[in-house]
Amino acid sequence: MRSLSLLVALLVSASTLAFKRDSFKTCDQSGFCRRGRALSARAHAAGESWQSPYYIDPDSILPDPTGALFTATVKSSIHPQVSFSLEVRAHEDGVIRVQMDEVTRFRRHYNEAASWALVRDPPLSESGHIRWLVGKKETRTRYGWKGTTFEAVVQYNPLKVTLYTNGEEQVVFNGRGLLHMEHFRTKEDTQPLQIEGAEAEQVPLHVNNAAWFEGEEQDAWWEETWSTWTDSKPKGPESLSLDITFPSHPHVYGIPEHATNMSLPSTTGPDATYSDPYRLYNSDVFEYLADSPVGLYGSVPLMHAHGKKGTVAVFNAIASDTWIDVGKKNDSTETHWISESGILDVFILPGPDPASVFYQYARLTGTPMLPPLYSIAYHQCRWNYVNSEDIRAVQRRFDEEDIPVDVFWLDIEYAEGHKYFMWDEKTFPDPVEMIADVEAKERKMVVIVDPHFKRDSDYPVYQIASDLDVLVKPKSGEGEYEGWCWPGSSSWIDFFNPKSWDMWVKLFKTKSIDGSWSWTQSSENVGIWNDMNEPSVFNGPEISMPRDNIHYGGWEHRDVHNINGMLFANQTYNALYHRSDPPKRPFVLTRAYYAGTQRFAAIWTGDNLGTWEHMAVGVKMVLSNGLAGMVFAGSDVGGFFGNPDPEMLVRWYGVGVFSPFFRAHAHIDTKRREPYLLDEPYKGMIKDMLRLRYAMLPIWYNAFKESSWSGMPILRPQYVMFPNDEQGYGIDDQFYLGSSGLLCKPVTTRGATSASVYLSDAQVYYDYFSQTAYHPSASKPTGRTITVPAALHQIPLLIRGGSILPTRERPRRSSPLMQHDPFTLRVALDVDGSAKGELYLDDGEGFGYQQGELVWRAFQASTTHRNDGKARREIVVRSDDLAAAVPDMVPSYVPANAFARGLEEADVRVERVVVVGVDARPVSVSVSVVLLGGEGGTRALEWTYEADGGDQAGVVVVKDPAVGITKDWAVVIAF
């Protein structure tokens, strides 16, 4: 056992030190990354004479009977005794999958990453429109999708895979000859040959025909020492190198998580921004730098590439430590992926536009979950609320100050000795009553559960896992790995082991099953926070687990590191799903993640600092995560570390209000900074911002619904909205909220009083608060920059003309209390006098929406001119049943479903319609309602008009049309 003093030192160092570069490897300190970069350097030095040693044996090509798949044998000229199997698939949505693995019975390369990430094995093209044609020098297929012609070509010698769009190269694998799958070998095979010299001395004879490609040295093949740790590497060298070039795309995005620009800066070449590659290695990084390629908490090996000729992406299903070099060359981007282990398993997503790429990726790894409604409201957290009375006092202060909040959080100090699930009876003597007091105000609690279990036989959770033999093992494969984390001596659950899954479900039951231990001191509504699941190990290499630890199936930790944390969150979601009957939508927040995590959990950007730089880069990180499917994301408001001054804190709330995941959180050493503690005017500013978030919850919920169906990001950067506008490709400090038409430019600099907003299209935009209109000019209708007011109390927020926004304007203390509140419709007319929008509603809690228990309305506004003897103009705003119009999307829907009837019984209605962009005073406003059987009536409505003047748009406010939100109706504004 380690001494208590060592444990204290570990905990202190983990919680108080700033980012320490020497706690994490650079590429130069990583053997396989050194080898990969050295390979690239040799290729560069050789120039055009360089040729990949990998080639396809043409006689081995075997097409599948469907024609959508073929297999082949790949050989290497430097290791002719080694063979590799190649399989290339064409899927029904045009995605091309390329897999290559070594053919050997000696050992296995890890080949299960895709099985954890994918929702299912993607179906092959069965319609016959994608068929591989085998030729003498290449195998190719040509197919069309969305009016675009794609062609995939697999060249034999050297092996190269190219995707063309309308005859233009889009993606090239191994075009630079950097493909290298290090084959398995024994130490004996790699020893130099010996001959006897004239004096009977043993003289090594170095015969290395692969040196031109692999290098002369066996660099870290069999063992690697870094700092005080030695990695035994029992399988020897097994890394994978692959170059992927995007010849027509100057911008690449994705591969989170890094604190950097959304359009990834270069890491190679004379103008490189960084000297190290981007790293994908889930890591517990305290106080990370605000501008760095260092790998952070999550790893999604998905890269988008975009340019004026279209959008493509690659998903590299690899789970091990991976470094990615990015180089820019003219209008192309060259990337080099270097992974420690695993097979080659890459999906080419052909696009041809951003929306198509999101759709294709969502079909592979799944769409984001539709979360419970409360979870997209405001969360209040800190490390730590010290006792149950503290929680009650915080809730009471929020109510006294009339500040809305939905969720209170508990960090690790709730647990006795950091034994998760076990309440500290001294500070939380009444957890069930405390939770009930919070839920009585229609709020929820979230409690942290980390993956390390204190090694204590009196701790039932550890003992259950130990008895089931579901804990990670040391490199010997026997016993239980012991490391150090918050509880001291700890072991880690191995969620790759299926036996752990039922165990985890039983632990979260609020009533014991068969007398086994479960978390009875909880409730069916408590959300769970999974932290430290990279995994973080305080006394491990790079603050993580040794790479030669053993997981279920005999795989080493190096093989599965980036998936490890995802499984923890996935199984927590599964446990919460099975906690109640009928099930409620779980809320899980995870720090570590991988491709596919979006189906189960929200994420946040980790241990940020209370600085302007971290505030700004947090916006970019949330956008980047959204491009990689992780749409439910946000940064800790105020910064986890530090004590932001009032100006910074107000601005950070301005960022948080427009983040999908909106939580204020703080380190244990920071001052308390709940919003009610601020002096005026800052407290009032934050209250107004929080009320804005709550008023806009219908807009946010609709955006989450869109994402859960299509895979589109919730926050959409400029290039996603306007893929043909080159000026917008690198913009990452403003974004659109779903398809709502809202454009937000958060202020992330001190002392700002105005902000510059870039507008791509020739459309009118309106200030959300003042109705100021920003019309396109005749001289520069597109690609213009406008200046908007941005005093401390203001959030630069515009409505794009052509949008209709549903809001709920009545202040409430939590979101469930808004469920029967009326709606305001804000109609922002476009340059043609039209607009459209949507409203999606369900119970926000369960899964009834999957059986059609929902309301989904389409709002449309149009301007028409009539000539019935006298010229007249009308603006008509109407509501129609969108769910009934798209039965394929909601097949179980019926208009009179139970949820819709409940809204009708509660008289949930539209209480106000605000039409912005009206250029003249109406003569009348009326409403007609369509009743059952098609009959209805028309009645006059009260209204006001504020004329346009200067930059102010004309506004018609229709007072209480009293139309049910579930009904078909039309408001007619006549001129």
How far is it, in rounded angstroms, from Cα 786 to Cα 765?
A: 10
Positions of E strands within 464-564: 483-485, 488-492, 527-530
Residue 780 corresponds to which amino acid? K
Report the alpha-carbon angle 561-565-566, nearest 5: 110
Contacting residues for 921 by C-beta, under 8 A, at least 6 apart: 945, 947, 975
- Kindly state the tokens that stand for 382: 């800190």
Torsion of CA 718, 723, 726, 731, to 10 degrees: 20
What is the Cα–Cα distance from 99 to 349, expressed in whole angstroms?
15
Measure Cα distances from 12 to 8, 96, 415, 705, 944 in Å. 6, 49, 19, 43, 63
Cα separation, 510 vs 523, whole angstroms? 6
Q: Where are the beta strands (DSSP E) in 695-744?
A: 715-716, 735-737, 742-744
Counting Cβ atoms within 10 Å, is residue 441 exposed (0-12), middle (13-18) or buried (19+)?
A: middle
Q: Which of 416, 534, 706, 842 is catalytic?
A: 534
What is the identity of the amino acid at 889? M
Residue among 322, 304, 310 nearest 253 (CA): 304
DSSP 3-state assignment of 267? Answer: coil
The identity of residue 650, as a single letter, is V
- Give the active site residue among 284, 411, 531, 542: 531
Helix (H, G, I), strand (E, B) or coil at 829: coil
Which of 675, 686, 963, 698 lies closest to 818 in space, CA to CA?
Answer: 698
For residue 286, what are the CA distances in angstroms to 8, 297, 483, 608, 769? 17, 10, 19, 8, 39
340 is catalytic: no
Residue for token pair 């989450």: 704
Going by C-alpha positions, the residue among 320, 321, 322, 311 that lies closest to residue 348 is 311
In the numeric block, which tokens belong to residue 620? 């970019």
How far apart CA 96 and CA 297 sit, in angstroms, is: 29
Structure-token pair, residue 252: 């690449």
Q: Is 658:5 a contact under the CB 8 Å cutoff?
A: no
**Alpha carbons 430 and 414: distance in angstroms, whole number:** 12
Identify whether 531 is a catalytic site residue: yes
- Orientation angle between helical segments 682-695 and 697-710, nearest 10 degrees: 50
Question: Would strands 602-604 and 633-634 be described as parallel, antiparallel, or unpaired?
Answer: parallel
Q: In Å, what is the CA distance from 412 to each residue of 415, 451, 528, 870?
A: 6, 12, 12, 73
Rounded distance, CA 279 to CA 344, Å? Answer: 18
CB burial class (10 A; 0-12, 13-18, 19+) of residue 92? middle
Those residues whose C-beta lies under 8 Å from the C-beta of residue 118, and which sit 6 or more positions away, are 317, 364, 365, 596
Helix (H) or strand (E) holding 938: strand 936-940
Distance of alpha carbon 657 from alpha carbon 795, whole angstroms: 9
Beta bridge partners of 715: 737
Q: Give the orientation angle of helix 499-507 with respect to helix 557-577, to 10 degrees.
A: 40
Query: Is 272:278 a contact under the CB 8 Å cutoff?
Result: no
576's tokens: 């919460």
Rounded CA-CA distance 477/491 in Å is: 14
- Looking at residue 808, its amino acid is R
For the annotated catalytic residues, the residue numbers are 531, 534, 607
